[in-house]
């Protein structure tokens, strides 16, 4: 008879953040407590809910003792609440859960099996409407999913959703504290690709519910009904992108700090000038990495790169000119 023993399965901690979630919380908890992976804990942190969220959590805790509950004394906000939840987790592997999604019961088991030597593994997700019904669209219909170890991929775009992540505890000292102004999932992906590799599963393992209270609006539902959305959108987005790139440049273990420093410098130059040919050359040289996530545009790579040579001042001047054209015929 063999004397070999089966290696112990790693403990997986699911960090669940809750805030006024009574409408959807039970549906999500049902999919968490019935995961087919046998060695897990659920760490739920309530961020001062004013509804029945805590009562629902306690109801489930009585039946499922691997659910632990923490209640904040003051509201921390979405990002800082996830940060606290992660610090309370004891597992070797960590997963993030939103209160309003619906998980496939094999999600954690499949991710653990596929993690291999990667620091992080994620998966595709299927969109649901507010009532939890499929809308027949998935994340990979909108953006490309990335596998590899090139952090430049996450400087302008993100394809890693927090609810889809399973990552190693070794990442915690590098990702915490989360930068509060930016998506924590994009930060996790950026850090992970600096320190190692990430991979994804093509299966849709989460039903990603879309409603007006979502912290993110990936389907642009709110933007489509917001009449003021288009006002100054270019300027706001460019300034936001610059702040994010500067945040990435502060990471202490960047693979290519020289590239980041140059990117920040030329990005700032583009914001302050009429033309920035050096920025366009940088984009051309790194196009495949920087623009991997969005699907191909309705233009050639050359045409897109040439437009990047236009500085913000030139773009704003052109927009003002176009906006004035109707008045010429009054």
Task: Check whether residue 101 and residue 184 sit in a common domain.
Answer: yes
Q: Rounded CA gap, 245 and 248, in Å?
A: 5
Tell me, yes or no, whether 158 and 207 share the same domain: yes
Rounded-to-integer distance, Cα 199 and Cα 270, Å: 34
pLDDT in tens, the chain (330 residues): 334 445 689 999 999 999 999 999 999 999 999 999 999 999 999 999 999 999 999 999 999 999 999 999 999 999 999 999 999 999 999 999 999 999 999 999 999 999 999 999 999 999 999 999 999 999 999 999 999 999 999 999 999 999 999 999 999 999 999 998 999 999 999 999 999 999 999 999 999 999 765 455 455 554 544 444 444 677 788 889 999 999 999 999 999 999 999 999 999 988 888 888 999 999 999 999 999 999 977 778 888 888 888 777 656 655 555 556 665 444
CA quadruple 313, 319, 321, 323: dihedral positive or negative? negative
Rounded distance between C-alpha atoms, residue 142 and residue 294, angstroms: 8
**HSE on the CB side for 76, CA within 13 Å?**
19
Range of the domain at 286: 223-329
What lies within 8 Å, CB to CB, of 238 at 6+ separation is 267, 270, 271, 312
> At a CB cut-off of 8 Å and minimum separation 6, what does 225 contact?
none
Quick one: 214 and 231 in the same domain?
A: no
Determine the pLDDT at residue 3. 40
User: Are residues 188 and 139 both part of a single domain?
Assistant: yes
Q: Which of 170, 202, 221 is the last residue of a domain?
A: 221
Residues 242 and 199 in one domain: no
Q: Token pair of 262, please?
A: 């140059």
- Predicted structure pTM score: 0.89
> CB 82: neighbour CB atoms within 10 A?
25
Number of folded domains in the chain?
2
Whether residue 179 is found in the same domain as residue 105: yes
Q: Residue 183 and residue 100: Cα distance in Å, rounded?
A: 18
Q: Largest alpha-carbon pair distance within the chain?
A: 95
> Which secondary structure element, helix H or strand E, spans residue 97, and what is its range?
strand 93-98
Specify if 242 maps to a domain.
Answer: yes
If you write DSSP's letter for every residue of 149-204 in order, what string do you get?
Answer: S-GGGGTT-----GGG-EEEGGGHHHHPSPPTTS-HHHHHHHHHHHHS-EEEEEEE
Instruction: Please indicate, yes or no, whether residues 241 and 276 belong to a single structural domain of this protein.
Output: yes
CB 57 within 8 A of CB 32: no
Rounded to 5°, angle at Cα 23 from 111 and 227:
95
Within a domain: residue 139?
yes
Residues 169 and 243 in one domain: no
On whether residue 72 sits in a domain, the answer given is yes
């Amino acid at each position: 008879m063999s004397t070999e023993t089966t290696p112990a399965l790693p403990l997986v901690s699911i960090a669940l953040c809750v805030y006024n979630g009574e409408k959807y919380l039970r549906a999500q908890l049902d999919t968490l407590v019935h995961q087919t992976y046998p060695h897990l804990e659920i760490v739920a942190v309530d961020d001062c809910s004013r509804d029945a969220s805590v009562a629902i959590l306690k109801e489930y805790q009585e039946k499922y003792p691997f659910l632990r509950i923490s209640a904040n004394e003051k509201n921390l906000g979405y990002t800082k609440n996830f940060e606290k939840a992660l610090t309370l987790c004891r597992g070797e592997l960590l997963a993030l859960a939103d209160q309003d999604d619906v998980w496939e019961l094999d999600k954690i088991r499949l991710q653990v099996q596929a993690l291999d030597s990667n620091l992080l593994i994620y998966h595709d997700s299927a969109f649901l409407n507010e009532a939890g019904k499929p809308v027949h669209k998935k994340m990979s219909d909108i953006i490309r999913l990335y596998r590899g170890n090139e952090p430049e991929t996450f400087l302008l775009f993100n394809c890693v959703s927090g609810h889809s992540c399973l990552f190693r505890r070794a990442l915690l000292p590098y990702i915490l504290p989360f930068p509060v102004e930016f998506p924590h999932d994009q930060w996790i992906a950026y850090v992970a690709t600096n320190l190692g590799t990430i991979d994804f599963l093509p299966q849709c393992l989460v039903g990603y519910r879309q409603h007006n209270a979502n912290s993110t609006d990936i389907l642009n539902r709110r933007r489509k009904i917001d009449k003021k959305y288009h006002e100054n959108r270019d300027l706001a987005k460019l300034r936001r992108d610059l702040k994010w790139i500067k945040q990435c440049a502060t990471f202490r273990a960047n693979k290519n700090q020289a590239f980041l420093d140059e990117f920040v410098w030329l990005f700032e130059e583009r914001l302050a000038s009429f033309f920035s040919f050096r920025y366009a050359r940088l984009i051309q040289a790194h196009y495949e990495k920087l623009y991997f996530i969005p699907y191909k545009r309705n233009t050639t790579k050359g045409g897109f790169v040439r437009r990047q040579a236009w500085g913000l001042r030139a773009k704003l001047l052109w927009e003002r000119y176009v906006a004035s054209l109707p008045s010429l015929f009054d």
